[in-house]
Amino acid sequence: MTGENKPSKNELKAQTRARMVSMFERQGMTVESHSAGAVNYLSVSIPESDQNLAAIYGSRGKAASLWMKEPAWILLRSKLTAEQKRTIKVEDVDLFRRGFQWAVHFESPEDEHLAWAIDCCVEAGETRWENKKVRVAKEQAAKKRRLAKEAEMAEKRRSPFADATK
């Protein structure tokens, strides 16, 4: 690549974010723009879900960063070679209290880790969402049983003010 054909830093950042959005959307995810104070970011979620599975932020010194939850990072980390683990930039972002624990930074839209990271976020997010749906269904069934039992017991209870002479 010649110097004149090389994209500017801002173009590279925009291209990387656009590729990330495109990759998530191809997997059926919803991407929405948000801001936290002066910081703009994109949240990624499963349609019909109330949970974010990732967020796309900017990155100092790199093109973009993908913020992910612990299970997604564990999946991604297991796929990395020893050499990749030495070269990839990963940052602990748990202290920012935005629901994510790790930020993986990318150099460009062609970064070798980008597709893996997105796949890991989607896989972990879908697993988490399915687990929540099962848990909510169990909780609703238990609540229904509890309410039925309470109604049954209410029918059996005597009233303390009922006429005792009957």
DSSP for 49-92, written as a single string: -SSEEEEEE--TTSSEEEEE-HHHHHHHHHH--HHHHHHSEEEE
Print the domain residue range for 86: 9-156
- Tell whether 166 is covered by a domain: no
Indicate whether 162 belongs to any domain: no
Any domain includes 161:
no
Chain segment 122-151, per-residue pLDDT in tens:
999 999 999 998 998 899 989 999 988 888
**Where residue 65 sits, what CATH number does that domain have?**
3.90.1150
108 within domain boundaries: yes
Q: Residue 3: is its pLDDT beyond 60?
A: no
Q: Is residue 165 part of a domain?
A: no
Q: What is the pLDDT of residues 30-86, one digit of tens each?
A: 999 999 888 899 999 999 888 899 999 999 989 999 999 999 999 999 999 899 899
Six-digit token pair at 11?
């173009």
Mean pLDDT of 1-16: 82
Rounded Cα–Cα distance for residues 32 and 55 (Å): 9
Q: How many independent structural domains does the chain possess?
A: 1
Residue 120 and residue 68 in contact, taking contact as beta carbons nearer than 8 Å: yes
What amino acid occupies position 157? R
Q: Does residue 124 lie in a domain region?
A: yes
Q: Does residue 99 fall inside a structural domain?
A: yes
Q: Is residue 163 part of a domain?
A: no
Q: Which helix (H) or strand (E) holds 45?
A: strand 39-45
Query: Which letter does DSSP use for residue 148 in this model?
Result: H
